[in-house]
Chains A and B, each alone.
Chain A
Amino acid sequence: DQQVKQNSPSLSVQEGRISILNCDYTNSMFDYFLWYKKYPAEGPTFLISISSIKDKNEDGRFTVFLNKSAKHLSLHIVPSQPGDSAVYFCAASGAGGTSYGKLTFGQGTILTVHP
């Protein structure tokens, strides 16, 4: 049972344009959501998070949007840069009062930004 789903395995974007990565979840008890970025042979690196009391959080070029009624979140990267090319994982936590570090991850989306 995949509780966090990233339905697009890959995304290709031109440098300078917007990248939009999507994520859906099924467990309505999740109340904290995160995006991690991963380069080959490295561990995931935290990018940005959002709690369920908000619908938007922004940090520089990165913005995360949360639609609780649709159980959907998205990550917007504007403008996209070649160095953003990596695997992006959506993650969720907090279901039923469990540890906020007990993350449920999606399968990942490979983002390629072309110069």
Chain B
Amino acid sequence: GAGVSQTPSNKVTEKGKYVELRCDPISGHTALYWYRQSLGQGPEFLIYFQGTGAADDSGLPNDRFFAVRPEGSVSTLKIQRTERGDSAVYLCASSLRGGREGSPLHFGNGTRLTVT
């Protein structure tokens, strides 16, 4: 079956612009996560959705970052007034039962964001 799909795969934008990154989770997965991976580091948690609601957004770095999941499936990560430090690979993951044993996170291939 289809895995987690992220679009676009690459995004180059100028400093100060607004960007949207899209994630299509595995069908039927109610839990959805956004992570960010900077060069040479492991992924860092940003936000977790259970259904339509953000259950935990403690990883969002500041109020320029926002994410939505209006119908409990597709999610969009939105970044306002982008800065060069936002350049990273943004990873989306989904899970059937919230990452519990036997229900691991399935990651997409990520969106590589470059802010020039």
Q: Which of A74-113 contact B (CB under 8 A)?
A: 89, 91, 93, 98-108
Residue A105 contacts which of B44, B56, B99, B100 (CB distance < 8 angstroms)? B44
Q: Check B42–A101 contact: CB distance below 8 A.
A: no
Q: List 30 A-B contacts (CB under 8 A).
A: A4-B42, A32-B101, A34-B104, A36-B107, A43-B91, A43-B107, A43-B109, A46-B105, A51-B101, A89-B42, A89-B43, A93-B99, A98-B56, A99-B31, A99-B48, A99-B55, A100-B99, A100-B101, A101-B48, A101-B95, A101-B98, A101-B99, A102-B48, A102-B56, A103-B45, A103-B105, A104-B45, A105-B43, A106-B42, A108-B41
Residue B98 contacts which of A49, A89, A100, A108 (CB distance < 8 angstroms)? A100
A43 CB contacts on chain B under 8 angstroms: 4, 91, 93, 107-110
Bound CA span A51–B103, Å: 13
Q: Which of B36-90 contact A (CB under 8 A)?
A: 40-45, 48, 55-56, 59
Bound CA span A115–B100, Å: 36
Bound CA span A93–B56, Å: 14
Q: Give, as a whole number of angstroms, the nearest-CB distance from A7 to chain B.
A: 13
Decide yes or no: A44 and B56 within 8 Å by CB, A32-B101, A103-B45 being known contacts. no
Bound CA span A29–B31, Å: 22
Q: Give, as a whole number of angstroms, the nearest-CB distance from B62 to chain A.
A: 19
A100 CB contacts on chain B under 8 angstroms: 98-101
Most buried by B among A98, A99, A101: A101
A36 CB contacts on chain B under 8 angstroms: 107
Q: Check B101–A99 contact: CB distance below 8 A.
A: no
